[in-house]
Copies of this chain bind each other. A is one copy, B any other.
Amino acid sequence: MGIDPGLTRCGLSVVQAGRGRQILPVAVGVVRTPSTAELPERLLRLSAAVGEWMDEYRPDMVAMERIFERGNVSTVMHTAHAFGVMVLAAAERGIPVYQYTPSEVKKAISGNGRADKKQMTNMITRILGLSEAPKPADAADALAIAVCHCWRAPLIARTTRAHERTATA
């Protein structure tokens, strides 16, 4: 499961890793909470929606985009509150959480850590064999994060096993 965290719009995706680098899309969507609502109400709605996705798709792991501290401080703080609530939702279900920076996701998908939104959307559409580009951008981002993790997870697993072998040697 891939999550592009946000309070106003939060991108969610579920993919299934196939053979080699093949990845099958399972679900994609965006959860929105109204900016007119109070913070507690918004976090409650977000937590419920993300929890429903986790309970329905039962992902083996969750990959989230790290918060990039850029732009409006209030927006960054809202995203950070939402991020905490979503990590908690995964933790409550025993689902491990992995984090990637925006540039790690871009590099994994397009080979370029500075790829723009259009390049990323084109690559994700092609990689997943979709008939049309996922919209809005948060949905495409959530798919990109999930694909990034699928491609990097085997490497992470090998590294962990190597460490364990070293530790037990």
Interface residues of A (CB under 8 A from B): 38-41, 43-44, 47, 67, 69, 73, 77, 80-85, 87-88, 90-92, 96-97
Whole-angstrom distance between the Cβ of A72 and the nearest chain B Cβ? 11
Cβ of A82: which chain B residues have Cβ within 8 Å of it? Answer: 84
How far apart sit A41 and B41, CA to CA, in the bound complex (Å)? 24
Q: List 13 A-B contacts (CB under 8 A).
A: A38-B97, A40-B90, A40-B97, A47-B88, A67-B77, A69-B77, A77-B80, A80-B80, A80-B84, A81-B81, A81-B84, A83-B84, A84-B84
Whole-angstrom distance between the Cβ of A102 and the nearest chain B Cβ? 15
**Residue of B40, B77, B91 touching A43 (CB-CB under 8 A):** B91
Whole-angstrom distance between the Cβ of A106 and the nearest chain B Cβ? 21
